[in-house]
Amino acid sequence: MAAEKSLAIVVRMVEFSETSLVVSLFTRDFGKIGALAKGARRPKSAFEGALDLLSVCRVVFLHKSTDALDLLTEAKLVRRFRAGARDLTRLYAGYYVAELLDELTHPGDPHPDLYDAAEQALAELDGAGSVTAVALRFEMTALRILGHMPSLSECVGCGKPVEAVGRVAFGMLEGGVLCPDCRPGKRQVVSISAEGVKTLQGFADATTEAWRGQTVHPKIWGELRGVLNHYLANLLGKKPKLHEFLGTLAE
């Protein structure tokens, strides 16, 4: 059993016994791990209160070679997510970042770039970043890094460019926009406004930070939630818990 070190975000915590916790950590170097934190519920534990949902920690753990839980031996707090105390909206958006990390990734599949994007999203939610913009940017970034980005400019059926004018067909099962030739006969097709498609394209573009200047109009946010909630639920095979909350942000 080798002792491994990494930066990690606490994405889930479950009480294991009167004194211990089982934690899901999204680590920068090893991807998602499940670890037992013995004694973490004692007032004076080796973890010094670092294990808190959405905390960023520097952890040391013993990596088990079987599918047993890893053993967490140390966790030093780097940054606690504090926004929950002043704004529940920010807290729930933070939970959504954690839910996506937990649900979209597999144990032992590291994605340092996704870790960095998540840490940045949490810092911005904890600060003054726009909740809808930060959440949408993180969703698109996670989909891109994990190879699930829907096609937004080219028809997912034939590859022809699809111009964002009027209303654009989006195939949930195909995973992207459809040209008029490819649309007939497809199941689970919704139509998105041109503005909705352009908004998605803007937030999906990894080459620029221009999304920061983009506001998501409440009407467009509502429309995009309909599309993305459906798309993510298909991808995960279940409805993410926080989707209901995200819908309320538009109101």
- Binding segment toward Zn ion, per CB under 5 A, in 9-17, 42-50, 134-142, 151-159: 151-159
Which is nearer to Zn ion, 133 or 164 (by Cβ)? 164
Which is nearer to Zn ion, 157 or 176 (by Cβ)? 157
Determine the Cα–Cα distance for residues 191 and 88; give it in Å rounded to an integer.
Answer: 32
- Binding segment toward Zn ion, per CB under 5 A, in 29-37, 73-81, 117-125, 175-183: 175-183
Token couple for 43: 């007032």
Nearest approach, Cβ of residue 202 and Zn ion (Å)? 23
Does residue 182 touch Zn ion according to CB under 5 A?
A: yes
Give 139's contacts (C-beta < 8 A, 6+ positions apart): 100, 203, 228, 232
Which is nearer to Zn ion, 22 or 190 (by Cβ)? 190
Options 13, 143, 155, 224; binder of Zn ion; rule CB under 5 A: 155
Does residue 158 touch Zn ion according to CB under 5 A?
A: yes
Give 3's contacts (C-beta < 8 A, 6+ positions apart): 60, 61, 62, 63, 73
| DSSP secondary structure of 4-52 | EEEEEEEEEEEE-SSS-EEEEEEETTTEEEEEEETTTTSSS-TTTT---
Nearest approach, Cβ of residue 132 and Zn ion (Å)? 31
- Binding segment toward Zn ion, per CB under 5 A, in 57-65, 111-119, 133-141, 176-184: 176-184
* Sign (positive or negative) of CA dihedral 50, 8, 206, 179: negative
Nearest approach, Cβ of residue 178 and Zn ion (Å)? 6
Find where tokens 């599309």 sit. 227
Nearest approach, Cβ of residue 162 and Zn ion (Å)? 8
Does residue 179 touch Zn ion according to CB under 5 A?
A: yes
- Binding segment toward Zn ion, per CB under 5 A, in 8-16, 84-92, 137-145, 155-163: 155-163
Q: How many residues would you count in the chain?
A: 251
Strand order in the sheet with 176-178: 176-178, 167-171, 189-193
User: Contact residues for Zn ion (CB under 5 A)?
Assistant: 155, 157-158, 179, 182
